[in-house]
Structure 1
Amino acid sequence: MTAARKAACVLVAWALVAAGLSGLSAARAPIAKPQREFDYFALALQWPGTICASTRHCCAKNGCCRSEPLRTFTIHGLWPDYDDGTWPSCCRHTNFEMDKILPLKEKLDKYWPSLYCSSSSTCFSGKGPFWAHEDELQYFSMALDLYFKYNVTDMLSSGGIQISNGKEYALSDVIDAIKHAFGGSPQIICKKGSIEELRLCFDKDLKPRDCLTTTTTNERVLRKKHCPRYITLPTYDPLVLANSTGGIMTEFDDFEASASLYTA
């Protein structure tokens, strides 16, 4: 067994608790099905320019409220998934110990910030910080390693896809830029013509692979509203904490109603 596969086997026991993420909870709600061995990992990345443009209320933990706007993809999670479009979740009771990830706290704040003010849902009806639906040091270290190794912002830039409020890019060009640099087709979630989330997929040895490749899943995706033919990577003006009302964001509670899904 390769070192990467051993690491993946350890990671999946922890990553299986990934469920009910704040803001996008409808996209990763717990699945009430018998659990089986997962098929692949998905590294989910958020585009702050799309999410933060809708920020109306600020809090200290919301990365959208920083004085300097975020201009790169940030991490949403590293998740085990099934080829049929579902995922395992909430497989065991677990207590999140923040002390175990203190060595990574600075990187997590910078590259894995919450973009919301509401508390993240954890398994079994708990609430906690944005990271509490995940589990501890090796999991977060591996996710950060994949994030830095496969820098999506750089991949797109190398393909001529730049951050811009007014510039539109062909969806096919965005997909091709990722496929050329990464070696597999990404999964893209859009909102109002802008990229909201982009996912890179990996096999159990953490090698790049296509996202959602089975016939059943492709048929499901085709029934959804796709991203438009031309999409954007917008910037945003931060609503800094000093001007906030301390309210709780609710704009993204109904994710399925507002987002569209595309996979090549």
Structure 2
Amino acid sequence: MEKAFLKIILCSLLLNYVAVFSASQDFDFFYFVQQWPGSYCDTSQSCCYPTTGKPAADFGIHGLWPNYNDGSYPSNCDPSNPLNPSEIGDLKRSMQRNWPTLACPSADGTQFWSHEWSKHGTCSESVLDQHSYFEAALSLRKKTNLLQALESAGIKPDGSSYSLGSIKDAIKESTGYTPYIQCNTDESGDSQLYQVYVCVDTSGSGLIDCPVFPRGECSSEIKFPAF
């Protein structure tokens, strides 16, 4: 009887341990995604500049997205924790420069950031609160500096076409890690550089080798449009 009771207690403790461990391992890595505004705006859908004016001709943050090693991802993890703009008031000016909204109608960015926090940020709140989440993304953008990496390799946003391999190599040379390149098509149907994914550890601070890349491939030659 005592052995059976002890067995039940041990099983209960083990299940509790597994539950706590699983809760702390709620994602495996981040995708840090930046987009080229010229490629967002020259599609048939077009774009709208933020109410603060036309963004700089530089890569802007799209998001910091928790992911699993099998390629799936969590989303909308905590509807009870919407973005509180006052939590990121000191970051707002930097976010308007580095994380601009290009969706229509024009806005100041708050709705865009709120969407990113609700869909993705809440799935990382075990390690990053609202302020830390956005601060981490801003720091990663500065650390990666994609435009400088590309221009240092002679790859410039002037409407020319470049090999996909040379773009990946330039970013790897600068960051130390192979990126994933996502393309879209302009109004003429030509493939162009749209978004760059790099992978980040679960602290939101260190770049890592990507455990898995998103599906989809660009053409071997892609445009880098002006903005």
How many Å separate the matches in 1 of 2:132 and 2:58? 24
CA shift at 1:131, angstroms?
Answer: 0.5
Task: Tell me, yes or no, if the aligned pair for 2:48 and 2:102 is still in contact at 8 Å.
Answer: no
TM superposition shift of 1:209: 2.0
Of the three residues 73, 78, 82, the one matched with 1:87 is 73
Aligned-pair Cα RMSD in Å: 2.7
* Unaligned residue ranges in structure 2 (runs of 5+): 1-22, 122-129, 186-190
Counterpart of 2:137 in structure 1: which amino acid? A
Deviation per CA, 1:157-188: give whole Å up to 9, x if none: 122211111x1111101111111111111111
CA–CA distance in 1 between the matches of 2:78 and 2:34?
25
Counterpart in 2 of 1:70?
Answer: 56
- Label 1:107 to 1:42 Cα distance change in 2 as closer, same or farther (>3 A): same
Task: Select the structure with the greater relative contact order (CA < 8 A; seq sep ≥ 6).
Answer: 1
| Aligned twin of 2:19 | none
Residue in structure 2 matching 1:163, options 138, 146, 157: 157
The equivalent of 1:149 in structure 2 is 143
Rounded Cα–Cα distance in structure 1 between residues aligned with 2:49 and 2:60: 18
- Separation in structure 2 between the aligned mates of residue 174 and residue 106 of structure 1, nearest angstrom: 30
**Residue 49 of structure 1 pairs with residue 35 of structure 2:** no
Letter in 2 for 1:140: F
Correspondence for 2:29 among 16, 35, 40: 40
- What TM-score, normalized to structure 2? 0.72
| Structure 1 unaligned blocks of 5 or more | 1-33, 121-127, 237-264
CA distance in 1 between partners of 2:132 and 2:24 (Å): 23
SS for the counterpart of 2:100 is coil
* Letter paired with 1:129: Q
Counterpart amino acid of residue 95 in structure 2:
L
2-side partners of 1:119 and 1:87: how far apart?
29
Aligned partner of residue 129 in structure 1, secondary structure: helix
**Which residue of structure 2 lines up, in the alignment, with residue 101 of structure 1?**
88
Please state whether the residue corresponding to 1:137 is helix, strand or coil.
helix
Whether 1:189 aligns to 2:182 is yes
Higher gyration radius (CA): 2
Contact 1:35 1:91 in 2 (8 A): no
**SS of 1:174 mapped into structure 2:** helix
1:16-73 CA distance string (max 9 Å, x none): xxxxxxxxxxxxxxxxxx9963111111001101011135564654x7xx3x563110
Q: How many residues align?
A: 183
Q: SS of 2:42's equivalent?
A: helix
**Does residue 119 of structure 2 align to residue 132 of structure 1?**
no
Q: d(CA) in 2 for partners of 1:144 and 1:58?
A: 22
The answer on whether the counterparts of 2:50 and 2:100 sit within 8 Å (CA) in structure 1 is no
**How far, CA to CA, are the matches of 1:74 and 1:59 in structure 2?**
13
AA of the residue aligned to 1:96: L
Q: CA–CA distance in 2 between the matches of 1:112 and 1:137?
A: 14
In the TM superposition, residue 231 of structure 1 has moved relative to its aligned partner by 1.1
User: Could you tell me how far apart the structure 1 residues matched to 2:50 and 2:135 are?
Assistant: 24
Kept after mapping to 1: 8 A contact 2:164/2:220: yes
CA spacing shift, 1:37–1:111, aligned 2, 3 Å: same
- Alpha-carbon spacing, 1:143–1:69, altered in 2? closer, same or farther (3 Å): closer
Question: Which string of whole-angstrom CA distances, capped at 9 and with x for unpartnered residues, describes residues 83-140 of structure 1?
Answer: 22111111122122111111111111111011102699xxxxxxx7111131521111
- Equivalent residues of 1:50, 1:196 under 8 A apart: yes
Deviations 1:188-222, CA, capped at 9 Å, x for gaps:
11012111111111123533223344xxx6xx83x
Structure 2: how far apart are the matches of 1:198 and 1:131?
19
Aligned to 1:210: 209
What's 2:168 paired with?
Answer: 175
1:113 aligns with 2:100: yes
